[in-house]
Structure 1
């Protein structure tokens, strides 16, 4: 699986052109054709950050912030649901950064504050 396919898993239902996907990935230092490594937490975080960028771009389109009706079903509160998903992704990314910082500090160095 490549980075593009993994990003598409994260943003299911959002239709973007291949060029748009490539730009979003490049903005987060990812190449669309590189192999996705699920054990690489930094790469996973970049995928989430790319998905977050896409959702924020959708959030900047006021014409999408309305209620939709399709086949007698109403999809309402699009904006609230979108903002909730953005908040979820931000929290997940923030938590991943904290976990990475903790792991880095475990192998870090220490210094002596008081020396006699």
Structure 2
């Protein structure tokens, strides 16, 4: 399974083409057709961040919300549910750790030298 397929699993029933999904993945530091590594906490976090970006874009598009019709679900319920999912993803992302060996960049520097 590659990264784009894993992202599609996370945002089921959101109809975006592969080029749009690729942009979301690349913005979050993943290559779309690279093999997904389920043991990597960093990969998992970046997939969730990409899904969060997609849901935020969806929530910011009132034109798309007008077209939401699903059984007994109206637009206000959809807005509430998508915001709940966004909040849930944000909490999940904050709780995930990253792989130390992959993330080597740091913001630490020596201000004073002896």
Give the TM bin, normalised by the shorter chain: 0.7 to 0.9
| TM-score, normalised by the number of residues in structure 2 | 0.78
Higher helix share: 1
User: How much does 1:69 deviate?
Assistant: 4.5
The alpha-carbon distance between structure 1 residues 17 and 91, as it changes in their structure 2 partners (threshold 3 A), is: same
Q: Secondary structure at the match of 1:47?
A: helix
1:1-116, aligned counterparts within 5 Å? 1-66=1-66, 68-70=68-70, 73-76=71-74, 77-97=77-97, 100=98
Higher relative contact order (CA 8 A, sep 6+): 2
**RMSD between aligned residues:** 2.2
| TM-score, normalised by the number of residues in structure 1 | 0.77
Q: Secondary structure at the match of 1:74?
A: coil
Q: Which runs of 5+ in 1 are unaligned?
A: 105-116
The alpha-carbon distance between structure 1 residues 30 and 67, as it changes in their structure 2 partners (threshold 3 A), is: closer
User: How much does 1:74 deviate?
Assistant: 1.3
User: How much does 1:63 deviate?
Assistant: 2.4
Query: Does the 8 Å CA contact 1:3/1:47 hold for their aligned counterparts?
Result: yes
Higher strand share: 1
Runs of 4+ displaced beyond 4 Å = 66-70
Query: Does the 8 Å CA contact 1:2/1:36 hold for their aligned counterparts?
Result: yes
